[in-house]
Structure 1
Amino acid sequence: MEAARRQSRALRTREQILAAAVEVMVGHGYAGLTMQRVQTAAGVTRGALTHHFSSMRELAVAAVDYVAAAQAGEIEAAVADAGPAELIEVLHEVTRRPTYVAGLELWVAARTDPELRAALRPGARQLGRQLREPLLLLVGDLDDERLEVFADGLLSLLRGLAVGGVLRDRPALEKAVLAAWLGAFGAQATTGAG
């Protein structure tokens, strides 16, 4: 019984630390993610923080995975409850959030950090696999190569729009760009532009 209580407390502490790390990344960027800031935001001791995460890289990757898991759940719910148009709306909305853009900062940092790149790669692959099937609903029968171009292109477009949104907030234009992209592949969805 005591072991189960300790494990439950440890899981709550880990989640508290991850939520604080996300908050710090959103507020200060990846470059501003420090153990001290996370410790303060989480309200935990240095020992508790280092017990769960021995390095900033490990903490940053876990924080991005934490956000990605929540976003994946949201996307799965949209696929289950709605049609293709709603899926694109949800993807667009998720990629406009500060938490998503903060995660993209890690991707940029991974360009020059092979260990970070290796740590981020499994999560990126998992997201790609999760999105592949719902994206099939948008385009119907495409051969594997064309589906890969569609899916990778759409995700790259969403990432680019997210980064562009940092300097200019134009959601209506972004929706028009998405509609044009979908139209180029004969996708069966609209993005509410019009």
Structure 2
Amino acid sequence: MNRKPGGLTRREQHARTREALLGATIRCLVDHGYAGTTTQRIQDAAGVSRGALLHHFGSKSELLVAAIHHIADIRLHHVDELTTDLDDGPEALEQLVQAIRSAMAGPAFQAAIELWVAARTDRLLRAALLPVEKRLDSALRTLFHHHAGIPDPGAASTAFESLMALVRGLELTRIMRTDQSLADQIVEDWLTTVARLRRG
């Protein structure tokens, strides 16, 4: 087995460098925005050489497409971790909503926002972003329909869409609120409304 210095195989070193570059891309998107995320900044943040970066990603576009997939995987993994032990009891929906809120927050979501905004005018970026977001949406939708307990499919679909719009909007407007407890109250109101659909 071909091992590099430090006891890592070539494959392990390759995976570690790729992970470092993707992690650095997320940090740069959060810290500098899409426009300020340059390959030089990513390279510096990852602590790798120019040659190492180009070995993994031949262009900035290629790196950002990989980052889109990586960000979606992080968010899905986060939801999976929080919902592994979820049952069909009365508290399941509230726990699921909190898991989705958690996935729609933090660096991965902030980086995703930067990519969404850029994709509005970048055709290639949008083409890469849409199927990944659809995959994430489909996974969350499946979880929601399983645990929401809303018998009417149309009402369940509307409830899911309103939840996604709600949690995304709350996170986007977080910096404008001085009282963060207001967001919790808004979600509580949503849960109260959906409880009536479950009984119906």
The question of whether the paired residues in 2 share the 8 Å contact of 1:84 and 1:138 is answered with: yes
Unaligned regions of 5+ residues in structure 2, if any? 87-91
- C-alpha root-mean-square deviation of aligned residues, in Å? 2.3
Q: What stretches of structure 1 move > 6 A for 4+ residues in a row? A: none
Quote how far apart the aligned CAs of 1:100 are. 0.8
In 2: Cα distance, 1:167 partner to 1:102 partner: 19
In 2: Cα distance, 1:60 partner to 1:167 partner: 29
In 2: Cα distance, 1:7 partner to 1:16 partner: 14
The question of whether the paired residues in 1 share the 8 Å contact of 2:94 and 2:191 is answered with: no
Deviation per residue, 1:85-132 (Å, 9 max, x gap):
222122223323133122111111111111111100121011111111
* Structure 1 equivalent of residue 37 of structure 2: 33
Which residue of 78, 100, 108 corresponds with 2:82? 78
Give 3-state SS (helix, strand or coil) of 1:185's partner: helix
Deviation per residue, 1:44-84 (Å, 9 max, x gap):
11121122122223322322322321221121122222432
Quote how far apart the aligned CAs of 1:185 are. 2.9
In 2: Cα distance, 1:187 partner to 1:52 partner: 52
Quote how far apart the aligned CAs of 1:23 are. 1.2
Give 3-state SS (helix, strand or coil) of 1:186's partner: helix
In 2: Cα distance, 1:169 partner to 1:129 partner: 33
* Structure 1 equivalent of residue 73 of structure 2: 69
Aligned residues: 188
C-alpha spacing 1:16/1:28, structure 2 compared with 1 (3 Å): same
* Structure 2 equivalent of residue 192 of structure 1: none
In 1: Cα distance, 2:166 partner to 2:58 partner: 35
C-alpha spacing 1:98/1:7, structure 2 compared with 1 (3 Å): closer
Quote how far apart the aligned CAs of 1:9 are. 1.5
In 1: Cα distance, 2:30 partner to 2:178 partner: 17
The question of whether the paired residues in 2 share the 8 Å contact of 1:22 and 1:99 is answered with: yes
**Is 1:125 equivalent to 2:134 in the alignment?**
yes
Report the TM-score, using the length of structure 1 for normalisation: 0.86
**Is 1:108 equivalent to 2:79 in the alignment?**
no
**Is 1:45 equivalent to 2:49 in the alignment?**
yes
Larger radius of gyration: 2
